[in-house]
């Protein structure tokens, strides 16, 4: 399970809200989040709709939110009946899928007529830039690729959704630098790399020290394009 980091959650708030409006979230009675991690996005959706939200990931979260119905499941084999949901959401999750087209076809199966996919934010790690360049961005992209995912997910989503039977209406955030104000934002990413075995403890400590110095100097910033939008189902062939 790849939990949504503070950096990812806080800096994609505006695009998530744009997708909620486009998808008419308030009218969606049955919503599923795929790749929920600890559930911050599912909790946000539950708070905005006032309804119970379903959420799946490969592992159960450490804490249980009563507003979320969690299930441990593979995105390629969802444990739900055909036509169960009005909307299915992804947030920094598609990039980890080994077969995104197959997963989207499975999502299509569990969507009811008129249902939509909400791409709340999916990054293009191949276009990520870090200043100063500590190597963190490259390590994250390499880890996604080594796990069977796609670092360039943001630029390939339209193709994948189309092949799975959806008509996507996607946008890409403009190229702009985001200042990192707290070392904790990037230290969460380093902790993930340590847990994944990509870094030794010594390498992780050195990278964390470099990140703290960069943040303290006020020079730490990241450019990370993300893709977001809504995809409705096309007519069956």
Residue 1 located in a structural domain: no
In tens, the pLDDT along 38-84 reads 999 999 999 999 999 999 999 988 888 999 999 999 999 999 999 99
Its domain, for residue 95, covers 6-233
The number of domains in the chain is 1
In tens, the pLDDT along 106-144 reads 999 999 999 999 999 999 999 999 999 999 999 999 999
**What integer pLDDT is reported at residue 203 of this predicted model?**
95
In tens, the pLDDT along 84-111 reads 999 999 999 999 999 999 999 999 999 9
Cβ-in-10-Å burial (0-12, 13-18, 19+) of 105 comes to middle
37's CB contacts (< 8 A; 6+ apart) are: 1, 2, 3, 4, 57, 61
Q: Tell me: pLDDT of 237 over 60.
A: no
Residue 90 located in a structural domain: yes
Q: Tell me: pLDDT of 176 over 90.
A: no
Q: Tell me: pLDDT of 2 over 80.
A: no
Q: Tell me: pLDDT of 1 over 70.
A: no
Question: Looking at the DSSP assignment, which residues form a beta bridge with residue 89?
Answer: 33, 118
Q: Tell me: pLDDT of 182 over 80.
A: yes
pTM of the model: 0.94
Residue 192 located in a structural domain: yes
Estimate the crossing angle of helix 183-195 against helix 136-146, to 10 degrees.
Answer: 40
CATH number of the domain residue 178 falls in: 3.40.50.150
Indicate the SS3 state at residue 84.
coil
């Amino acid at each position: 399970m790849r939990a949504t980091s503070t950096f990812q959650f806080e800096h994609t708030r505006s695009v998530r809200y744009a997708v909620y409006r486009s998808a008419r979230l308030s009218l969606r009675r049955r919503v599923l989040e795929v790749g929920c991690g600890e559930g911050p996005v599912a909790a946000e959706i539950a708070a905005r709709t006032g309804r119970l939200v379903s959420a799946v990931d490969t592992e159960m979260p450490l804490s249980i939110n009563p507003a979320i119905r969690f299930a441990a499941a593979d995105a390629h084999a969802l444990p739900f009946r055909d036509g169960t949901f009005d909307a299915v959401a992804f947030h920094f999750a598609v990039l980890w899928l080994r077969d995104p087209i197959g997963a989207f076809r499975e999502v299509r199966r569990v969507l009811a007529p008129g249902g939509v996919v909400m791409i709340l934010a999916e990054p293009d790690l191949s276009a990520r830039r870090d200043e100063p360049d500590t190597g963190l961005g490259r390590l994250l992209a390499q880890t996604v690729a080594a796990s069977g995912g796609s670092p360039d997910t943001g630029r390939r989503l339209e193709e994948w959704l189309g092949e799975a039977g959806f008509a996507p209406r996607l946008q890409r955030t403009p190229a702009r630098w985001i200042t990192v104000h707290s070392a904790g934002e990037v230290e969460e990413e380093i902790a993930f790399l340590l847990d994944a075995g990509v870094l030794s403890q010594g390498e992780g400590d050195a990278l964390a020290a470099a990140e703290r110095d960069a943040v303290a100097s006020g020079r730490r910033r990241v450019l990370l394009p993300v893709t977001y939008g809504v995809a409705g189902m096309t007519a069956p062939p």
